Amino acid sequence: MRSLALLPTLSLTLLALCAGSVMAQNPTGPKTRAQVQGELREAVRTGNMPAGGESGLMLNEVNPSAYPAQTVAPCKTREQVRAELDEARRTGNIVAVGESGCMLNELNPSAYPPKSVPPCKTREQVKAELDEAKRTGNMPPANESGCSLRDMYPDLYAPK
């Protein structure tokens, strides 16, 4: 009976904590009182509230039979995991033994099929981009200022 007397205090405390954290995270503004009360009712119904003590468990973890079953995301089958592992072995996308942190295909690229490379630009495309950059001044000068030619000499280039 004593734990039932603490429920309103616990509910108000949880409500205040939730409202404070949501206000700090919600860029569209604070939630309404009705929204917070609805969330609290849902948390009480599903047991997604902290159980007493220092266990860190939720009520639905302490007494799962008292709350509706939680839906669990579908796991991969054994065959799916094996297929992924076989593909990683074939392509060398497995971390090499040791402390290098490199993948096997990085340490020994000739032992694995080459990675697909996105198509490069043609010579004509690169020349066209260079001509456009020269025309608009969107290129760095010969110094280390970090500015573009357009920024350094605005009178020489037409505005965008």
- Based on the fold, state whether residues 56 and 91 are members of the same structural domain: no
Q: Structure pTM?
A: 0.32
71 domain-assigned: no
- Answer yes or no: is 22 within a domain: yes
Distances (CA, A) of 6 to 9, 14, 38, 40, 52: 5, 12, 20, 16, 10
Same domain, 42 and 96: no
Most confident residue range from 31-35, 64-68, 115-119, 150-154: 31-35
Q: Which domain holds residue 58?
A: 2-66
Domains: count for the chain: 3
Give residue 1's pLDDT band: very low, low, confident or very high (50, 70, 90).
very low
Residue 73 placed within a domain: no
CA distance 3 to 19: 24
> Is residue 116, in this structure, part of any structural domain at all?
no
Distances (CA, A) of 42 to 31, 67, 72: 15, 11, 18
